[in-house]
Amino acid sequence: MTPHISAKKEDIAKVVLMPGDPLRAKKIAETYLTDVKLVNEVRNMFMYTGMYNGKKVTIAGSGMGCPSIGIYSYELYKFYDVNHIIRIGSAGSYKEGINVYDVYNVKEAFGESDFAKIAANIDSKIIPAGEKLFDLIEATAQEKNIKTHKGIAHSSDVFYRYEDSLEFAKKNNLDVVEMESFALFANAIATNKQAACLLTISDSFITKEVTTAEERQNNFMTMVELALDTVVKVAD
């Protein structure tokens, strides 16, 4: 038990999938897992543990932004002995050819905050995903014939910015934008664990397409299934 997670240690699996929205965690758990148990509801940040194809897995909401996922992922790694976390979330596309509903596997996260320096003593704006977990996702995607884009994600601290987003992305060679992977990757390095981030494109700065919250909750299942099928291969 931690200040933010009420689950017993044995109720959290060694592999965790983390959507930002706790209601999305609920839907994923109820759709895909058997023997599902709600193991945390502190601050309504729902976490569920169950079985997927013989593998124990926890689906845990992370909230929005680096501070929120930073707290939950650190406590899971440090106090619950979680070994692997895959963030599963949404992102905006900065580039032509990366379209709404495409799947993006984050190879590196670009952050603008001091989170990594303060939390993990990492003095860099770019932090890599866990190489083994990233490669395992790619191998699973090939097996399932799922096309993934990969590269650098902008892990932004703000949703509304005064600077032109596309100019900022071009200047820093960024493909997509989300808000959590930078902190997750930093915590994984600090605790010597593995982290990855799978994203489904929810909107495009190029085409101006936008999905609704309901569409994001119900239509991102290719990404979810890819993450779950990767989980089955992960050694505890």
Residues annotated as catalytic are 203
Query: Shortest CA distance to 35 belongs to which of 11, 64, 16?
Result: 11
Q: Which two tokens stand for residue 77?
A: 């790694």
Q: How many residues does the chain have?
A: 236
Nearest Cα residue to 227 out of 148, 109, 111, 127? 148
Indicate if the alpha-carbon torsion angle 201, 111, 148, 144 is positive or negative.
Answer: negative
CA distances from 225 to 29, 33, 65, 130, 173 (A): 12, 11, 24, 20, 29
Residue 66 structure tokens: 């680096």
